Amino acid sequence: MATAQVGGAVVLQKDVSIEVRDKSLVRHGAIHHKDMRFKIENPHNNVGNWEMSLSSEHPMAPILRTPGSGIILYHKETEITSGPTLKPEFTSVPSDPRGTLRFAGVTDDILLADLLAWPLPTSANIADQIGLTDTREGFAETLIHAFVSANVGPLAPAARRDERLVMGTDGSRGGNTKKSATFDVLGELIGGIAKVADLGFRVVQRAGVLQFETYLIRDRTSEIRLDVLNGTLAAQRLTINAPDLTHAIVIGKGRDKLATDPADFKPPPSYQLYTTTESIQGEADWGRRVEKIVNATSTNDPAELQQAALEELVDKGYTNVSVQVSPMDNSNMVFVDEWGVGDRVIVIVDGIEYTSFVSNFQMRVDDTGFYLGAGLGDPADFDPQVALRKIVAQTGARISALERNG
């Protein structure tokens, strides 16, 4: 019986399966692991990517070549992720004249990356959006569901609604939050809310619908303790990085004041300084005070300024422990069942304990066998392409914010 092990966690190959669907989410059949090469990387609160190579003669090949098709990945008959095919390719060589199909796709979280959060989401008329902002306040989880439902879910106007999407349970978790949207990327908008509130989210096919789900990040630090030295963890590489930020200086819009000619008056920006317990501890640990500007010039609301600061500090204001996990021989800590993406765990290096989080999982099926892996911390620490994509995304987000505020 084939097995794969992750961070000391055994996963049976028989527990993992793949089905093929069409654009209407109708399942057409399964693909046996012996008939394909497959790999996927699925990050926390972001869009995953998958690739599959399949003989052109396979009965599922015609379905996957159809625009809008996709796959569903199961673990123990439970859907863990799903997503559409974006790019089918055909290749043939003299030794294989009938050819091989290669499919590249993404997870269904792409719905959240494709759409923007409109200022007036109840209207699909772009002319109605001028001068408005969609400002919401409440529990963090409720805000996340509200923004999604209003922009792509059941409450969105017909032109922007995805009829396949249904909303999962809103548990009203997370503290009171205030957030405004003016054509922000929907996934980035709710991602900022989620990371401050210790929430995760995903879009996954269940039965014949796409379901938007939120869940609470689990603190597994008392149960999952991965030690490189004693063999409960094997790491291809481990890095421990100083905080990228310890003090966030938030630039707000400023308070409106009277002027001789109000049309000419531009109030000076407001400035607020924010820290967190983790960022101050990071400063103490490394002996570095790191100050950075957070642009929030679209608002002067104290609650929104604080939210903008916390989103940056939670993302960058702590000692980051990054680990690439490789297969192990024996352990009783079962990945997927007992710990998974988003969870906080303990990594022990040279007797020193560090808290890290499970940032992604990877799965690969090829001629060498079956492999399931997990990444802890920031994958950009290991992969230059991931690092480059992260820099481009951050730069794009800053430019987008400046354009919207302008």
Query: What distance in Å separates the CA atoms of residue 332 and residue 9, rounded to the nearest whole number?
Result: 7
Answer for the pair 286, 243: CB distance below 8 angstroms, yes or no: yes
Q: What is the pLDDT of residue 3?
A: 35
Q: What is the pLDDT of residue 395?
A: 43
| Structure token digits, residue 154 | 């059941």
| Structure token digits, residue 318 | 């702590």
Query: What distance in Å separates the CA atoms of residue 385 and residue 389, rounded to the nearest whole number?
Result: 6
Under DSSP, the state recorded for 45 is T
CA 332, chain centre distance (Å): 28
Q: What is the pLDDT of residue 325?
A: 53
Distances from the Cα of 62 to the Cαs of 35, 86, 87, 97, 266, in angstroms? 15, 14, 14, 17, 60
| Structure token digits, residue 401 | 């914010």
Torsion of CA 187, 190, 195, 198, to 10 degrees: -120
Burial (CB count within 10 angstroms: exposed 0-12, middle 13-18, buried 19+), residue 313? buried
- Locus of tokens 């103490």: 284
Query: What distance in Å separates the CA atoms of residue 291 and residue 250, rounded to the nearest whole number?
Result: 10
pTM, full prediction: 0.80
Would strands 209-216 and 199-206 be described as parallel, antiparallel, or unpaired? antiparallel
End-to-end CA separation in angstroms for the chain:
60
Q: What is the pLDDT of residue 16?
A: 80
Answer for the pair 172, 393: CB distance below 8 angstroms, yes or no: no
| Structure token digits, residue 357 | 């989080």
- Residue 404's identity, in one-letter code, is R
Let me know how long the chain is. Answer: 406
| Structure token digits, residue 261 | 């000619």
- Rg of the chain's alpha carbons, rounded to an integer? 23
Q: What is the pLDDT of residue 384?
A: 39
Query: What distance in Å separates the CA atoms of residue 7 and residue 266, rounded to the nearest whole number?
Result: 55
- Locus of tokens 């991931």: 386
Query: What distance in Å separates the CA atoms of residue 342 and residue 338, rounded to the nearest whole number?
Result: 12
211-230 pLDDT per residue, tens: 999 999 988 888 877 765 55
| Structure token digits, residue 367 | 């001629």
DSSP bridge pairs for 174? none
Query: What distance in Å separates the CA atoms of residue 10 and residue 341, rounded to the nearest whole number?
Result: 16
Where helices occur in 296-374 by DSSP H, the ranges are 302-316
Answer for the pair 379, 360: CB distance below 8 angstroms, yes or no: yes
Query: What distance in Å separates the CA atoms of residue 217 and residue 145, rounded to the nearest whole number?
Result: 17
| Structure token digits, residue 341 | 């993406």
Q: Which residues of the chain have pLDDT under 70?
A: 1-14, 90-99, 227-238, 254-267, 323-337, 349-350, 378-406
Q: What is the pLDDT of residue 84?
A: 95
- Locus of tokens 């008959």: 77
- Residue 164's identity, in one-letter code, is R
Q: Which sequence spans correspond to the domains of the chain? A: 112-218+383-405, 243-316
Q: What is the pLDDT of residue 296?
A: 84
Q: What is the pLDDT of residue 97?
A: 56
